[in-house]
Amino acid sequence: MIFQGKYRIETTRLVGRDYSQPGKYFVTICTKSRAHWFGEIRNDIMGLSEIGCIVACEIQKTSLIRKNVCIDSWIVMPNHIHMIIVIGHNNDYDVVETSRRDVSTLVQQTVSLFRQRPQSLGSIIQQMKCVCTKRIHTMGHIDFGWQPRFHDHIIRNNHSLNSIRSYISNNPKIWNQDRNGIGTGVTA
């Protein structure tokens, strides 16, 4: 190996988690350099630009394209988007078959045995970003881009889910309090 892991970037995902398995995720995706491409907030209301409308459209299409994915809540902000992405159904006690007919185990104990799947959280985000970027570049905005990574938080209970839903819906109201404009200020 040429670089022997010297320039390897550590993952921000939970090690051992199979992000294609059923679950709920709070996701934040930012624009490159946090540029305000998607619109502006006036009087605590987000007004979408033409580019922001493209992003909103692609978010809405996500559930139509992928039958196992639901976008529970979402908002497009001037330089980022927040979404709750639900993959499959969220039951931490789903039983799966093992090689022995008389033994079953919990999904959470089994997921590390499988490789990342195409319908994983990362592939869903990557495809959405790619489609948005192509459409936006076609409009002549070739400077548009995304930050290469995204932030995710695994939603583990209803209290956290409701707190994040509230945060998403109130995000335009707290925009001026967030000096970077990308807050994920959910405490759950």
Q: How far is CA 68 from its chain centroid?
A: 15
pLDDT tens-digit profile of 144-156?
999 999 999 999 9
- CATH for 39: 3.30.70.1290
**The pair of three-digit structure tokens given for residue 86, joined into one six-digit string:** 């639900």
Q: How far is CA 180 from CA 20, 126, 153, in A?
A: 31, 23, 19
DSSP 5-56: TTTPPPP-SPTT--TTSSEEEEEEEEBGGG---SEEEETTEEEE-HHHHHHH
Q: Say if 149 falls within a structural domain.
A: yes
144/154 Cα distance (integer angstroms) = 28
What's the domain count of the chain? Answer: 1
How confident is the model at residue 99, as a pLDDT?
Answer: 44
**Residue 180 resides in a domain:** no
User: Does residue 185 fall inside a structural domain?
Assistant: no
pLDDT digits (tens, 9 = 90+) for 48-106: 999 999 999 999 999 898 889 999 999 999 999 999 999 996 444 343 444 444 444 44
Q: How far is CA 38 from the centre of its chain?
A: 17
Mean pLDDT of all residues in the chain?
81
Tell if the pTM clears 0.85, that is, is over it. Answer: no
**Cα separations (Å) of 137 from 92, 133, 134, 145, 148?**
41, 6, 5, 9, 17
Helix, coil or strand: residue 61: helix
Cβ neighbours around 49 below 10 Å, total: 15
Whole-angstrom distance, CA of residue 168 vs CA of residue 75: 6
Contact (CB, 8 A) for 83 and 161: no
* Residues 124, 70 contacting (CB under 8 angstroms): no
With respect to residue 184, please indicate whether it lies within any of the assigned structural domains: no
71 in a domain, yes or no? yes
Q: Please report whether residue 12 resides in a domain.
A: no
Domain-embedded: residue 186: no
Of 23-32, 94-103, 122-131, 154-163, the one with minimum mean pLDDT is 94-103
- Would you state the pLDDT for residue 103? 45
Q: Which domain holds residue 124?
A: 23-109+116-174
Residue 42 included in any domain: yes
Of the listed ranges 58-62, 137-141, 175-179, the one predicted with least confidence: 175-179
